[in-house]
Amino acid sequence: MSTSPVSLLPFNTFGLAQNARTLLVLEQRSQLPELWRSLRSELPLFVGEGSNLLFTAPFEGTVLVNRLKGITVSDVGDAWLVRAEGGEGWHGLVCWTLEQGMPGLENLALIPGTVGAAPIQNIGAYGVELAQFCEAVESFDWDSGEIRHWSAADCAFGYRDSVFKHAARRHLILSLTLRLPKAWKAVLGYGPLAALGATASPGQIFEQVCATRRSKLPDPGALGNAGSFFKNPKVGEAQAEALRLAWPALPVYPAEPGLVKLAAGWLIDQAGLRGCRLGGAGVHEHQALVLVNLGGATAEEIVRLAALVRERVEQQFGVRLEPEVRMMGPRDETNLDEVLACLN
Ligand code: FAD
Ligand code: EPU
C-alpha cells in the first residue's frame, strides 16, 4: 500500500506522468473484505498493466492494481482446464502453457497486460480470440461484495467486447479459467502464419507470432503506446463494396452476417497519416493504428491527434473510427467526443 498522491507512470504503457489520489495493490485475496469495506462507496478504478489505458486527467480516486498470482491445472480427459489468477501476466501464461505441453494460446503470444484484463475486451490476435478458450470468469462484485462466477456465455464476448467492458469498474476480475482441448488444431489463416504450412507446430506458430508482432508493434518499454488506438470498423457489405470500387486494395475481413470489418490501420495509412505527429504524440511509422508517445507527449496531444485521425479518415472514406483504448479522466470513457469536450 502506498500513500497519496501517487504517480501512475509505472501503471500505463503510454508513459504518461499522471497522478492518482491513492494507489492500492491487491496481492492476496484476504485483503479484499477490508478493501471493499473502506472503498465501497468510492468504487476504485481497476488496473492491470495499463496497456489499454490513456489517463486523460489526474485520477481523483483510488487505483486498485491487481497482482493476484497463481496458476492451477486440471485434466478433464479431452482438455486441460487452466485457472490463472487475474494479476498473472498474459504472455507469461501463454509461455507457461506451451512449456507444459498444453498448446492453444500460441496465436495470442506477446499481448501485453494481465490475465484479469483479458476478458474485458476479449483480447484477440492472428485469427484467435480469448472467447474461444474461456471456460469461466470469477469476479468480485464491488456493489454487493460477493464473488460471482460467469460462464463464457454470460460474458457476452464480441469483437473487442464483453459484458465487463460496459461495467468494468464494478466487477473486479479475480481469475480466469481456460479450456485447452487436447485435440490441438493450428490456426494459420493470418498472412505470415499461412506461410508456415499445415505441419506447423505450436512452437513455430508462437515464434512467428512474436516475430511478426515485434516487426510491427512498438515495444512500450521503448516507445509509449497502448496498442491499436482504434477498433477496426464494421460496415455494411454494400458500403464496403462501394469503397472497394474506389480503393481495390482495401482489406476486408468477415464479420457478422451483412457486415464486414475494415482495417483501420490501412485507412489511416491511406489518409497519409502514418508517421505524422502532433507535439509529442505520433502515428506509429510501422503501424498507423498505433498512436505513440514520441517523448514528453501530453494526454491532450494524444487525444487531439486521435481526433485528427478520426476526422481525416471520415472525410476520405466516410467511415467513423471508434477508440479501442479506455480513456480515464473524470470518467472511464471510450467516447472521444466526451473526452474532447472535457479538454475544451
Ligand atoms: P489495463 O490497461 O490495465 O485495463 C484495461 C481495462 O480493463 C480498463 O478498463 C481496466 O479498468 C480494466 N481492468 C483491468 N484489470 C481488471 C480486472 N482485474 N478486473 C476488472 N477490470 C479490469 N489487445 C488485443 O486484444 N490484441 C492485441 O494484439 C493487442 N496488442 C497490443 C500491443 C501493444 C504493444 C499494447 C501496448 C497493447 C496491446 N493490446 C492488445 C491491448 C492490451 O494488451 C489488452 O487490452 C490487455 O488485455 C490490457 O491488459 P492490462 O492488464 O494492461 O489492462
Ligand atoms: N495496414 C497498412 N498500414 C498500416 C497498418 C496496417 O496498410 O499502417 C494494413 C496491413 O498491411 C494489413 C491490414 O492493414 O493489410 C491489417 O493490419 P494488421 O495485420 O497489422 O492488423 P490490424 O488490423 O491493424 C489487428 C488488431 C491487433 C492485432 C492484429 C493481429 C484491432 C483493433 N487490432 O490489427 O490488436 O494484434 O490485428 O491480429 O483489431 C490491439 O488490439 O491493441 C492490437 C494490437
Pocket residue to mutate for ligand 2, from 266, 268, 310, 319, most atoms within 8 A of Cβ: 266
Centre of ligand 1 from the C-alpha of residue 319, in Å: 25
Radius of gyration of the CA atoms of the chain, in A: 20
Active site residue 228: yes
Task: Identify the CA nearest to 7 among candidates 58, 61, 66.
Answer: 58
C-alpha closest to that of 25 among 83, 86, 72: 86
The pLDDT assigned to 211 comes to 97
Domain identity same for 160 and 82: yes
Mark 233-242 as b/e (b = at least 16 C-beta within 10 Å). bbbeeebbee
CA separation for the pair 227, 229 (Å, rounded) = 6
The pLDDT of 316-332, averaged and rounded, is 90
Question: Which residues form the domain of 86?
Answer: 71-212
Structural domain tally of the chain?
A: 3
Q: What is the CATH number of the domain that holds 113?
A: 3.30.465.10
Instruction: Check if the beta carbon of residue 86 is closer than 8 Å to that of residue 80.
Output: no
**If you search the block for the grid coordinates 468504487, which residue do you land on?**
43
206 in the same domain as 335:
no
In a domain, 1, yes or no: no
Output the average pLDDT for the chain.
Answer: 95
Between 57 and 329, whose confidence is greater? 57
Residue 21 domain flag: yes
Residue 342 is predicted with a pLDDT of 84
**How far lies 102's CA from each of 130, 166, 178, 325, in Å?**
16, 32, 11, 31
pLDDT in tens, 81-131: 999 999 999 999 999 999 999 999 999 999 999 999 999 999 999 999 999
Chain-centre distance for alpha carbon 64: 18
Q: Is the pLDDT of residue 4 over 70?
A: no
- Kindly list the protein residues whose Cβ atom lies closer than 6 A to any atom of ligand 2: 125-126, 216-217, 227-228, 231-232, 251, 263, 265-266, 269, 274, 287-289, 324
pLDDT of residue 42: 86
Q: CA-to-CA distance for 1 and 344, rounded, in angstroms?
A: 35
Q: Is residue 338 part of a domain?
A: yes
Q: Is residue 126 part of a domain?
A: yes
Residues 235, 102, single domain; the answer is: no
Angle at 226 between CA 81 and CA 94, to 5 degrees: 20
Domain membership of residue 323 (yes or no) is yes
Whole-number Å distance, alpha carbon 197 to ligand 1 midpoint, is 31
Give the end of a domain, one of 23, 38, 66: 66
- Tell me whether residue 201 is one of the annotated catalytic residues: no
> Whole-angstrom Cα distance, residue 47 to residue 23?
10
pLDDT tens-digit readout, 12-63 = 999 999 999 999 999 999 999 999 999 988 889 999 999 999 999 999 899 9
Same domain, yes or no, for 61 and 76?
no
Cell 508462437 identifies what position? 206
Residue 332, pLDDT above cutoff 80 = no
- How many angstroms separate the alpha carbon of residue 295 from the centre of ligand 2? 24
Max CA separation in the chain (angstroms)? 61
- Whether residue 10 is contained in a domain is answered as yes
Burial class from Cβ neighbours inside 10 Å (0-12, 13-18, 19+) for residue 43 reads middle
Q: Among 177, 193, 212, where does a domain finish? A: 212
pLDDT at position 2 over 50: no
Residue 338, SS3?
helix
Residue-wise pLDDT tens digits, 260-299? 999 999 999 999 999 999 999 999 999 999 999 999 999 9
DSSP string, 312-327: HHHHHHS----B-SEE
Per the annotation, the verdict on 37 as an active-site residue is no
How far is 143 from 228, CA to CA, in rounded Å?
A: 32
Neighbours of 217 (CB within 10 A): 21
Residues 146, 255, single domain; the answer is no
pLDDT of residue 328: 87
- Among the candidates 197, 212, 227, a domain finishes at 212
The pLDDT of residue 262 is: 98
Q: Where are the beta strands (DSSP E) in 213-271?
A: 224-228, 234-236, 252-254, 259-262
Q: Is the pLDDT of residue 331 over 80?
A: no
Global pTM value? 0.97
Q: What is the mean pLDDT of residues 202-215?
A: 97
Predicted confidence (pLDDT) per residue in 235-259, tens digit: 999 999 999 999 999 999 999 999 9
Distance linking the first and last C-alpha atoms of the chain: 35
